[in-house]
Structure 1
Amino acid sequence: MKEFEHPSFETIKLSDVLSALGDPIRLAIMAKLHASDQETGWGTFEVAVGKATLSHHMKTLRMSGLIRHRKEGTRCFVAIRPELNDVYPGLLDSVLRASKRDQAMQIKARETLVAAQ
Structure 2
Amino acid sequence: MTELRLESVLAALADPVRLALVRVLAGQGESACYHAAHQAGLTISRSTVSHHLRILRNAGVISQRVEGTARIVRLREDDLAACFPGLLEAVLNAPAPRD
In structure 1, the residue matched to 2:87 is 91
Q: CA RMSD in A?
A: 1.7
1:28 to 20, 36, 55: 20
TM-score by length of 2: 0.85
Q: Structure 1 length as normaliser, TM-score?
A: 0.73
Give me the identity figure in percent.
36
Specify the alignment match of 2:44 in structure 1: 49
Secondary structure class of the residue paired with 1:32: helix
Computing the radius of gyration over CA atoms, which structure comes out larger, 1 or 2? 1
Gaps of at least 5 residues in structure 1 are 1-5, 108-117
Superposition misfits of 4+ residues, deviation over 6 angstroms: none
Distance 1:59 1:74 in 2: 17
Note the residue ranges of structure 2 that are not aligned, 5 or more in a row. none
Equivalent residue number for residue 73 of structure 2: 78
Q: Deviations over 1:49-106 (max 9, x none)?
A: 1111110100000010100001112101001113111111110110121233xx4xx5
